[in-house]
Amino acid sequence: MNGWTHPRGVRITEVGPRDGLQNEARPIATDDKVRFVDALSAAGCAEIEVSSFVSPKWVPQLADAEQVFARISRRPGCVYSALVPNLEGLERALAARVDKIAVFTAASETFSRRNTNASIAESLDRIRPVVDGARAARRPIRAYVSCVVRCPYEGPVDGRAVRRVVDSLRGMAVDEIDLGDTIGAAVPDDVDRLCDSLDGALAPSDFVLHLHDTRRTALACALRALQLGVTRFDSSAGGLGGCPFAPGARGNLATEDLCYMLSGCGIETGVDASAIGAAAASVKRTLGDSASR
């Protein structure tokens, strides 16, 4: 007999076009990115993180964010989001008609500096006006916290550090907090520890979980998170993913694997796993051997 109550549905944010493609060694044509995003929306994704309006000097792979947004076919009801690091990025994102703004910080000082050239406190100061601007523009706001389990530079991350950052983001009243296991280090017990460290601050039903799959433990962690009450996940078609500033980070939890598990458990996602698989196969053909998984 089954010892946990399944949620009726789970919301998946497809992050392949952003997290997957930001880490590719070779340039990817804008048209290929557009085809990928359109295939994902046709597969039923409710939300797609399309690109990043970060500094093109830092992430040249996504320098064409404006062109991608201009060329995608927007499926009604699908939310097209993007990463935004600062006010310069917000201005670009709003001009590109991005539906949802994703800001980002970290629970590890060293990763924060390597990723955004700012301490955690400085990154929160940088995020604050972006959140205000996005709210004024009536855009929902997601806030990522990276390295909630382990940092590629500092090792294990204390749950109290995660909680401090979460408290700051809650103070900004962002719409959604997204906890990232940036380098795919988590095992199921880490999900328990993470939830314990956030007890009283952020319930499992109130955050999104963003799992990388370096050691093939992401699906096991997703299952544990589901059992604890998490109902929102990020995943990536074909398991593409990684972060140029997180050495050792490999792909994200694969959308088709997550959907397969969820649908087998009778949990709805609205996503056609085989269509995701086809979209992933097509983009991987384009990427060739360099595909980061």
Q: Which of 13, 115, 197, 214 binds ligand HMG (CB under 6 A)?
A: 115
Nearest alpha-carbon partner for 105 in 94, 97, 113 = 113
7 secondary structure, DSSP code: P
Which residue number, 39 or 96, has a Cβ lying nearer to ligand HMG? 96
Q: CB count, 10 Å around CB of 104?
A: 21
CB of 182 to Mg ion, least distance (A): 6
Does residue 100 interact with ligand HMG by CB under 6 A?
no
| Residue 188 exposure: Cα atoms within 13 Å on the Cβ side | 9
Does residue 86 interact with ligand HMG by CB under 6 A?
yes
- Active site members: 243
Strands 155-156 and 150-151: antiparallel
CB of 290 to ligand HMG, least distance (A): 18
Which residue number, 116 or 269, has a Cβ lying nearer to ligand HMG? 116
Does residue 49 interact with Mg ion by CB under 5 A?
no
Query: CB under 6 A: which stretch of 40-48, 54-62, 127-135, 197-205 binds ligand HMG?
Result: 54-62
Q: How far is CA 222 from the centre of its chain?
A: 14
Does residue 105 interact with ligand HMG by CB under 6 A?
no
**Residue 141 token pair:** 């706001």
- Residue closest to ligand HMG, measured at CB: 180
Nearest 10 degrees: CA dihedral of 290, 242, 251, 149?
160
Footprint of Mg ion on 12-31 (CB under 5 A) = 19
CA–CA distance, 109 with 121 (Å, rounded to integer): 9
Q: Which residues bind Mg ion (CB under 5 A)?
A: 19
